[in-house]
């Protein structure tokens, strides 16, 4: 009887088999052990080959995740007004992209409890969801749900938009006059980043928030597609931050690659719990910018209905 044996030592795979193995690990919630059985490789080899693949993909990050520069790639602020001539001249900015975040759960390095007390402590910590039991994945997506910016940090290091804000201060040309980013409540409101009103009190504010909701829904769909395409992101069974970060970044890069190849994957958007998030105002010019955009939008709607 012929029995296939697992390859031991530093096994090598062809490029196609390496990609197949790695995409299997990313796209399905499977263990190294089950993949080891399917590919007849030792678990240690699976681990080494997979992270070598991640390193090769990450080397292409700056070529594949690129900030938009062409004006034709930017989004209209209100899609239902896109046929209205002179929108930009009227004061509505073009949208560079939609900024938001999601959490990627990871395993904490609790180790094996040696006693009942330790086991209870581990259970308590797990139920309280300590900050470093997930990664913060902050992204900006464009019209086609491609990612044009990606930042990954530990759960305990969460400061919404801090890394991007620092980049915008150093490179203001990323969001030039007449353009903006859109983000949810909790992100800093500024001239470059427009956020919704936390509570709508007027028809004008309702209309403005409705326009932003269209963009924010696009971001949520991009996140749903990412997690559907790469189901390993639903829970990373690894406690090493750098390894987990490499897996998440690899998935984001491949998301763009697969979109370019015409792959269509539609995930189900998660119901986001309504949180009592305090508005963050970066500067008063951001408040004036939002007010101006809201007034122009409402004026265009009124004129269009006459």
Residues 166 and 129 in one domain: yes
Same domain, 54 and 120: no
SS3 169: helix
Do 152 and 119 fall within a single domain? yes
- Same domain? 113 vs 258: yes
Regarding whether 76 and 50 lie in a shared domain, the answer is no
The tokens describing 177, both together, are 């006059």
Boundary residue ending a domain (59, 77, 99):
59
Whether residues 159 and 29 fall in one domain: no
- Out of 59, 75, 94, pick the residue that ends a domain: 59
Q: Which residue has the higher pLDDT, 71 or 263?
A: 263
Whether 31 and 177 share a structural domain: no
String of b and e for 193-224 (b: at least 16 CB within 10 Å)?
bbbbbeeeeeebbebbbebbebbbebbbbbbb
Whether residue 70 sits in one domain with residue 42: no
DSSP per-residue string spanning 4-64: PPPB-SS----HHHHHHHHHHHHHS---HHHHHHHHTB-HHHHHHHHHHHHHHHHTTHHHH
How many folded domains does the chain comprise? Answer: 2
Same domain? For 42 and 75 the reply is no
Could you tell me the pTM of the whole model? 0.84
Claim to verify: residue 189 and residue 45 sit in the same structural domain: no
pLDDT of 194-216, one tens digit each?
Answer: 999 999 999 999 999 999 999 99
Query: Do 78 and 24 sit in the same domain of this protein?
Result: no
The mean pLDDT value for 112-135 works out to 56
Per-residue confidence (pLDDT) for residue 3, from 0 to 100: 37
Q: Per-residue pLDDT tens for 87-106?
A: 444 678 999 999 999 999 99
Helical H segments across the chain, by residue range: 15-27, 32-39, 43-58, 61-64, 87-90, 116-127, 162-170, 203-229, 241-260, 284-305
Domain that holds residue 9: 1-59
- Residue 70 is predicted with a pLDDT of 77
Residue 113's pLDDT is what?
39
Residues 184 and 114 in one domain: yes
């Amino acid at each position: 009887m012929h029995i296939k044996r697992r390859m031991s030592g530093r096994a090598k795979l062809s490029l196609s088999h390496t990609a197949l193995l790695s995409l299997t690990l990313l796209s399905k919630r499977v263990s190294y052990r089950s993949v080891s059985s399917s590919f007849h490789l030792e678990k240690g080899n699976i681990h080494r080959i997979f992270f070598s693949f991640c390193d090769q993909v990450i080397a292409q990050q700056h070529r594949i995740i690129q900030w938009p520069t062409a004006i034709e790639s930017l989004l209209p602020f209100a899609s239902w007004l896109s046929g209205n001539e002179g929108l930009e001249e009227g004061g509505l900015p073009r949208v560079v992209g939609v900024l938001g975040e999601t959490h990627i759960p990871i395993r904490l390095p609790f180790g094996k409890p040696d006693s009942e007390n330790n086991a209870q402590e581990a259970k308590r910590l797990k139920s309280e969801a300590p900050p470093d039991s997930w990664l913060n994945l902050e992204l900006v997506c464009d019209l086609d749900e491609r990612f044009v910016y990606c930042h990954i940090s530990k759960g305990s290091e969460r400061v919404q938009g801090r890394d991007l804000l620092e980049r915008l201060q150093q490179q203001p040309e990323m969001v030039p006059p007449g353009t903006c980013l859109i983000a949810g409540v909790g992100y800093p409101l500024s001239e470059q980043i427009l956020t919704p009103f936390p509570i709508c009190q007027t028809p004008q504010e309702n209309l403005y928030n409705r326009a932003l909701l269209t963009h924010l829904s696009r971001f949520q769909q991009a996140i749903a597609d990412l997690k559907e395409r790469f189901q390993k992101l639903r829970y990373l069974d690894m406690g090493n931050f750098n390894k987990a970060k490499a897996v998440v970044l690899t998935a984001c890069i491949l998301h763009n690659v697969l979109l370019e190849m015409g792959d269509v994957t539609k995930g189900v958007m998660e119901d986001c719990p309504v949180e009592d998030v305090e508005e963050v105002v970066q500067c008063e010019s951001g408040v004036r910018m939002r007010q101006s955009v809201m007034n122009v939008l409402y004026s265009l709607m009124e004129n269009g209905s006459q």
